[in-house]
């Protein structure tokens, strides 16, 4: 029996999807022609109709199924990138719009229905004559959350997951440095535009994006923030209101928002894909650690990508990684798997490295902050030096330049203009006499006081070349406890954790640390009053002082990482799945 007989009204995929499919380069040869059945109605857990499209190989035989549940519609780019491409390679692809999105019934919610509706989708699959009982999931960003939600109580048919630049914790998305911490303003606004308009077509999405862009400066400058954002959307957005008003992850509103616990007890083989400048980088690495500790079969790919570019210019590598994992676990074909569990792209050297695990073996190296020579990083802590101070004024907040964002001006950027500001301190090493490879978690250990008790500290690692161009590598932000105000018993010891990285500083380059009071509008400014960000109406400047010894802590790579270029490494004749070793189980 051929797959086409299961859908009497089966047709070709939409023309727009077929045209876009032809523009995707670096894809493997097509194995099958593709059939398409659109607008199937699948009941959600509460009976709401969820619109679903089915792509399938026009060929006789049994094929495994891929479930892709999306709050961003079922059209471009999911139709060509998932529906057509994977059906061509021998998979049924079921692409479903989440409740209240893309024409599906019910009310949209960021997380409340995803686990139950995912199980309802699997129950529907069990009734289909073409379903073989072999199931995988895949998808990026919020489509990653739908996978983690299903994995909280995985159905027995679920054999593999591929989470691409994915989120598992919605509170962690809005407050990436935890609680207490600043609201991730710009990425939250951009993601809300996608959530509200992605499934309405390209024109509607473009118009909404332009409206937000026109209003972004006003949103960033006006108070209170809970009112300032409204013109950018033409109305209120309930989940933004709730996220801004409820920063505490223990608030009842966030119950169920973190599906990451699935990784701590997971048994479903899971491939994780991210980029060093992906807004979901930290969540992905957290999940990798949880899966490894649980003894779960897993792999990790980290490219030189942002959240968006991973699915654009990084798509050939992402697709190959995804296809290899799914064939290995759904089709018993391990020929597309790597020899090692981890592959990372190393900035500076611009090369791929294969590693046995993440993070690799590294030695902590401390560079102490010294006010001499215009701000230096030295191997020895200065003695008897006065504290180093700067004034942060929320009425003229320190701007954000590049970094982990969803907008286009993201990733590595020239920091020259930022570093010329009086509210940004910089500390720089002499030119390196030999390359310095940094692979792992980066942090700065500070001894801090403030004059008001209300402040954030933003820290950034940069690579300065021979021409003096300073390019950001990784960064992090930390909200200070009010006890750091004058009158407290001495400086507070504060660690600002930056996102991990894999970067090689070339000989002749310099390592630079920036310290400032924020990165706006990437993060909502600290108003200096302690009031909730959604309702604060006053702005109070703060003086932040760094006391000695304070230090930048870098993970200097160990011998395991040397000379392993994954792009050129010869592949062995026999591939092995990434099964956990006996000691991992």
Please indicate, yes or no, whether residues 211 and 280 belong to a single structural domain of this protein. Answer: no
Between CA 151 and CA 164 the distance in angstroms is 15
Q: Is residue 253 part of a domain?
A: no
Task: Specify if 576 maps to a domain.
Answer: no
**Residue 216 main-chain phi, psi, to 5 deg:** -60, -40
Q: The CATH number of the domain where 461 resides is what? A: 2.60.120.260
pLDDT given at position 571 = 32
The Cα 277–Cα 461 span in angstroms is: 13
Do 68 and 96 contact (CB within 8 A), yes or no?
yes
Give the global pTM: 0.92
Which tens digit of pLDDT belongs to each residue from 334-343? Answer: 999 999 999 9
Question: Domain tally for the chain?
Answer: 4
pLDDT score at 560: 57
On whether the CB atoms of residues 480 and 455 are closer than 8 A, the answer is yes
Determine, yes or no, domain membership for 98: yes
Segments of the chain scoring below 70 in pLDDT: 1-9, 19, 408, 483-489, 558-585
**Taken in order 327, 329, 334, 340, is the CA torsion positive or negative?**
positive
Query: What CA–CA distance (Å, rounded) separates 277 from 574?
Result: 33
How many Cα atoms sit within 13 Å of 189 on the Cβ side?
30
Domain assignment present for 584: no
Nearest to 454 by CA among 477, 487, 480, 478: 480
Q: pLDDT value at position 581?
A: 32
Tokens of 395: 């009425």
pLDDT of residue 21: 82
Q: Is 43 helix (H, G, I), strand (E, B) or coil?
A: strand
Q: Please, what is the average pLDDT of the chain?
A: 91
B/e letters for 155-171, b = 16+ CB within 10 Å, e = fewer, are bebbbbbbbbbbbbbbb
- The CATH code of the domain that includes 73 is 3.40.50.1820
DSSP letter, residue 260: T
pLDDT digits (tens, 9 = 90+) for 539-580: 999 999 999 999 999 999 866 565 444 333 323 322 332 233
Give the Cα separation of 432 and 436 in Å (integer).
8
DSSP for residue 84: I
| Domain identity same for 322 and 387 | no
Question: Are 372 and 279 contained in the same domain?
Answer: no
Could you give the C-alpha distances from 428 to 41, 127, 400, 432, 557, in angstroms and in order?
A: 60, 64, 20, 11, 20
Q: Is residue 562 part of a domain?
A: no
Q: Could you tell me if 405 and 550 lie in one domain?
A: yes
Two structure tokens written together for 111: 């997380």
**CA–CA separation, 197 and 271 (whole Å):** 29
Determine, yes or no, domain membership for 211: yes
- What is the residue range of 342's domain? 137-173+258-356
CB 352 within 8 A of CB 567: yes
Convert the pLDDT of each residue in 230-270 to its tens digit.
999 999 999 999 999 999 999 999 999 999 887 777 789 99
The per-residue pLDDT for 174 is 97
Question: Which pLDDT does position 564 carry in this prediction?
Answer: 45
Q: State whether 413 and 541 are in the same domain.
A: yes
Name the DSSP class of 80.
I
- What pLDDT, on a 0 to 100 scale, did the predictor assign at position 574? 23
pLDDT at position 255, please?
Answer: 94
């Amino acid at each position: 029996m051929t797959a086409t007989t299961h859908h009497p009204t089966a047709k070709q995929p939409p023309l727009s999807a077929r045209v876009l499919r032809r523009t995707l380069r670096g894809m493997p040869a097509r194995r099958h022609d593709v059939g398409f059945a659109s607008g199937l109605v699948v009941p959600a857990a509460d009976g709401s109709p969820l619109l679903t499209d089915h792509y399938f190989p026009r060929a006789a035989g049994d094929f495994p199924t891929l479930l892709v549940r999306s709050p961003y519609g079922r059209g471009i780019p999911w139709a060509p990138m998932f529906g057509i491409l994977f059906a061509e390679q021998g998979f049924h692809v079921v692409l479903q719009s989440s409740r209240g999105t893309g024409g599906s019934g019910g009310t949209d919610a960021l997380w409340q229905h995803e686990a139950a509706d995912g199980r309802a989708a699997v129950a529907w699959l069990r009734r289909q004559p073409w379903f073989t009982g072999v199931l995988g999931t895949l998808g990026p960003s919020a489509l990653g959350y739908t996978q983690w939600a299903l994995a909280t109580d995985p159905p027995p048919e679920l054999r593999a997951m591929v989470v691409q630049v994915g989120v598992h914790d919605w509170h962690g998305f809005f407050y990436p440095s935890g609680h207490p911490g600043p609201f991730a303003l710009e990425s939250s606004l951009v993601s809300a535009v996608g959530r509200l308009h992605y499934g309405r077509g390209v024109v509607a999405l473009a118009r909404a994006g332009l409206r937000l862009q026109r209003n972004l400066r006003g949103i960033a400058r006006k108070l209170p923030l809970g009112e300032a954002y409204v013109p950018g959307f033409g109305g209120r957005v309930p989940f933004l209101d709730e996220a801004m008003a409820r920063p505490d992850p223990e608030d009842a509103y966030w119950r169920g928002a973190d599906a990451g616990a699935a990784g701590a007890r997971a048994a479903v083989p899971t491939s994780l894909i991210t980029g060093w400048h992906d807004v979901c980088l930290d969540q992905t690495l957290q999940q990798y650690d949880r899966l490894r500790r649980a003894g779960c079969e897993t792999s990790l790919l980290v490219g030189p990508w942002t959240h968006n570019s991973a699915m654009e210019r990084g798509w050939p590598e992402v697709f190959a990684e995804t296809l290899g994992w799914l064939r290995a676990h759904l089709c018993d074909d391990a020929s597309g798997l790597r020899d090692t569990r981890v592959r990372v792209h190393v900035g500076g050297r611009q090369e791929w490295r294969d590693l046995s695990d993440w993070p690799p073996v590294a030695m902590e190296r401390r560079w102490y902050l010294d006010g001499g020579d215009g701000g230096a990083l030295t191997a020895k802590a200065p003695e008897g030096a006065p504290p180093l101070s700067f004034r942060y004024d929320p009425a003229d907040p320190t701007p954000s330049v590049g970094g982990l964002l969803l907008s286009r001006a993201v990733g590595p950027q020239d920091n020259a203009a930022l570093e010329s500001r009086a509210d940004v301190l910089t500390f720089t090493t002499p030119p390196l006499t030999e390359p310095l490879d940094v692979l792992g978690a980066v942090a700065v250990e500070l001894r801090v006081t403030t004059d008001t008790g209300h402040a954030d500290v933003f820290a950034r690692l940069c690579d300065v070349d021979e021409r003096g161009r300073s390019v950001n590598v990784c960064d992090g932000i930390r909200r200070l406890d009010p006890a750091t105000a004058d009158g407290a018993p001495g400086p507070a010891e504060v660690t600002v954790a930056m996102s991990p990285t894999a970067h090689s500083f070339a000989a002749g380059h310099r390592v630079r640390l920036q310290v400032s009071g924020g990165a706006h509008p990437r993060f909502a400014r600290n108003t200096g009053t302690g009031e909730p960000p959604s309702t604060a109406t006053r702005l109070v400047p703060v003086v932040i002082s760094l006391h000695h010894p304070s230090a930048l802590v870098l993970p200097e790579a160990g011998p395991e990482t040397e000379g392993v270029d994954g792009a050129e490494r010869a592949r062995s004749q026999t591939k092995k799945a990434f099964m956990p070793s006996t000691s991992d189980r």
